[in-house]
Amino acid sequence: MLKHSLKTGFSFGSTSGIITTLGLMVGLHSGTHSKIVVIGGILTIAIADAFSDALGIHMSEESENKHTAKEIWESTIMTFFAKFFFALTFLVPVLIFPLPTAIIVSVLWGLALITIFSYRMGREQKVSPLPIVGEHLLITIVVVIVTHLIGDWIATFK
């Protein structure tokens, strides 16, 4: 079992990496239909947003005033690497498939990861994982739908 500081960083970084990257990909695809733009977006999320989230978790953990410096840095570093890694996994389908197919594969990949992580969380908390899985999938699906609609709207300005 992971230490609390590592679990905090992993759960925050992985979830943020999945949902943020999916939202950006779907929005950029529907707004531009450009593979290079989507790739650029993924790389931007993997680097800039991973640093941003790592600093955010760092400051959040510091503000609680109950963690050691080592625990804060463990959460910070784990957040960065989890966000960076999970964001980069979405590059694989974009590099392998035509963009419309890659978007579908990426959404399925993201939903599968959210399902797995949410299920494990429920099991670790010794509660029924289904409500947790349902809640987290619903939020992820809402992000995908809303970013798709925003991308469609942005495309009307061409």
Reported as a single tens digit per residue, the pLDDT across 11-21 is 999 999 999 99
pLDDT reported for residue 128:
95
Q: HSE of 88 in the Cβ direction (CA atoms, 13 Å)?
A: 10
pLDDT reported for residue 65:
92
Distance CA 14, CA 87 (A): 8
- Strand ranges for the chain from DSSP E: none
Nearest to 51 by CA among 6, 16, 91: 16
Joined together, the tokens standing for residue 22 give: 């999916």
pLDDT reported for residue 2:
74
Mean pLDDT for each 10-residue chunk of the chain (158 residues)?
A: 86 95 98 97 97 96 93 95 97 98 98 97 94 97 98 93
Distance CA 108, CA 115 (A): 10
pLDDT reported for residue 1:
64
**The model's pTM:** 0.93
Joined together, the tokens standing for residue 64 give: 């609680």
